Amino acid sequence: MDDSKMVGGKVKKPGKRGRKPAKIDLKAKLERSRQSARECRARKKLRYQYLEELVSSKERAICALREELDMYKQWCTAMDQGKIPSEIKALLTGDEQKTPQSSSNKSSKTNKKNNQS
| Tens digits of residue pLDDT in 42-99 | 999 999 999 999 999 999 999 999 999 999 999 999 999 988 888 888 888 886 554 4
> For residue 87, how many other CB atoms are within 10 A of its CB?
19
Yes or no: say if 109 and 64 are a contact pair by the CB < 8 Å rule.
yes
pTM confidence score: 0.50
Q: Where are the alpha helices (DSSP H) in the chain?
A: 26-80, 86-93, 100-116
Yes or no: say if 86 and 99 are a contact pair by the CB < 8 Å rule.
yes
